[in-house]
């Protein structure tokens, strides 16, 4: 898998450089302008910001394979293209085969979410501020102030953020590995006040 990713990225880079040498168009300017701010963005956001570049990724990949194949014999070129196509299809097929297409267990109408909203509604919304990964949902359905968080490499930056926004409580879902680790590594700083098996609410004591 790693070898395939590295190989594909090499072809993408080769295709991008090849297009730059021939002519510079909007297709070459957009990724540079778009990626620039991401390199200096201080907060980790996963891969979602790269989704708009996927079409360009495949464009440069095809250009790179096509140009590189032109330097090979006809037979070698055909073998390379077929092998790369099969590898990509098998990789995506394997990934999709492992995906869960069953019932969506997380949402605002699930019993766990409804119980959470009812619990949060018991607090004074003017005095409390909840840290939650879906702040707007919590604000609408529970009527309290809420703020999102970011995954900082240095936990101290996150604590400074909590203090700056005036966070008093934090909500951790069972699927939120980052916040779970933060709480588990700072037990003295969090007081568990609610747990419905899917969501936990902690009072921030630090």
pLDDT tens across 148-186, in order? 988 888 888 889 999 999 999 999 998 888 889 888 888
Nearest to 120 by CA among 204, 188, 198, 193: 193
Task: Kindly indicate the confidence band of residue 46, based on its pLDDT and cuts at 50, 70 and 90.
Answer: low
132 or 46: whose pLDDT is higher?
132
pTM: 0.55
Contacts of 21 (CB under 8 A, 6+ apart): none
pLDDT range class, residue 45, cuts 50, 70, 90: low
Closest CA relative to residue 70, chosen from 12, 7, 18, 9: 18
Asked if pLDDT for residue 58 goes beyond 70, the answer is: yes
Whole-number pLDDT of residue 147: 93
The pair of three-digit structure tokens given for residue 55, joined into one six-digit string: 């079409």
pLDDT band at 44 (very low <50, low <70, confident <90, very high): low
Query: Mean pLDDT: which of 49-63, 151-165, 190-204 is highest?
Result: 190-204
Chain CA centroid to CA 179, Å: 15
């Amino acid at each position: 898998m790693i070898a395939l990713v590295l190989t594909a990225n090499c072809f993408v880079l080769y295709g991008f450089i090849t297009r730059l040498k021939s002519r510079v168009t909007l297709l070459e300017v957009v990724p540079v302008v778009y990626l620039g701010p991401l390199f200096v963005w201080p907060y980790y956001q996963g891969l979602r910001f790269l989704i708009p570049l996927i079409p360009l990724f495949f464009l440069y990949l095809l250009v790179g394979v096509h140009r590189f194949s032109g330097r090979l014999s006809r037979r070698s070129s055909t073998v390379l293209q077929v092998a790369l196509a099969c590898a990509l299809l098998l990789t995506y097929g394997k990934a999709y085969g492992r995906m869960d297409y069953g019932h969506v267990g997380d949402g605002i109408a699930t019993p766990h979410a409804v119980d959470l909203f009812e619990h949060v509604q018991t607090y004074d919304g003017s005095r409390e501020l909840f840290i939650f990964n879906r702040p707007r949902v919590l604000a609408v359905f529970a009527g309290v102030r809420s703020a999102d968080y970011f995954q900082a490499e240095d936990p101290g930056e996150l604590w400074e953020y909590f203090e700056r926004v005036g966070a008093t409580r934090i909500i951790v879902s069972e699927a939120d590995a980052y916040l779970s680790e933060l709480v588990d590594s700072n037990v003295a700083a969090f007081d568990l006040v609610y747990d419905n098996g899917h969501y936990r609410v902690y009072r921030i004591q630090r």
